[in-house]
């Protein structure tokens, strides 16, 4: 249930912040004793100085057009702590704009 919640929130955010006609890419890769999940979109992205702050409950970036409560990434962070995983944000690499979210989890 925790992994489902993480994936649902990440894909929901990508859909919410990607404009109509944009792209979303989801990839899952096994690396030795870890699993890497990458969700990347062609939306506006998140400024680097806000990357840590977006994991705070109810935090929303000023001027954002998308609706929401600011809980999605906070929930992701809590769930991943429970699963001994980690999440990192960076600029999209597959698109000219956007966000790349990488989740790394131990294999079972």
Residue 71 belongs to what domain range? 2-106
How far apart, in Å, do the first and last CA atoms of the chain sit? 15
CA 23, 67, 101: angle at the middle one, nearest 5? 45
Quote the mean pLDDT of the chain: 91
Give per-residue pLDDT as tens, 38-97. 999 999 999 999 999 998 888 777 766 666 677 889 999 999 999 999 999 999 999 999
CATH number at residue 50: 3.30.565.10
* C-alpha torsion sign, points 74, 28, 50, 83: positive
Counted domains in the chain: 1
The dihedral over CA atoms of 57, 24, 83, 75, expressed in degrees to the nearest 10, equals: 20
Alpha helices in the chain (DSSP H): 2-17, 72-82
What is the pTM assigned to this prediction?
Answer: 0.89
Give per-residue pLDDT as tens, 7-16. 999 999 999 9
């Amino acid at each position: 249930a925790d992994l489902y919640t993480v994936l649902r929130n990440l894909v929901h955010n990508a859909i919410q912040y990607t404009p109509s006609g944009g792209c979303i890419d989801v990839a899952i890769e096994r690396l030795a004793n870890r699993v890497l999940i990458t969700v990347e979109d062609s939306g506006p992205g998140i400024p680097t100085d806000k990357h840590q702050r977006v994991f705070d409950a109810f935090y929303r970036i000023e001027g954002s057009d998308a609706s929401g409560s600011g809980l999605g990434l906070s929930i992701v962070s809590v769930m991943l702590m429970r699963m001994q995983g980690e999440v990192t944000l960076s600029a999209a690499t597959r698109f000219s704009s956007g966000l790349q979210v990488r989740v790394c989890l131990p294999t079972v």
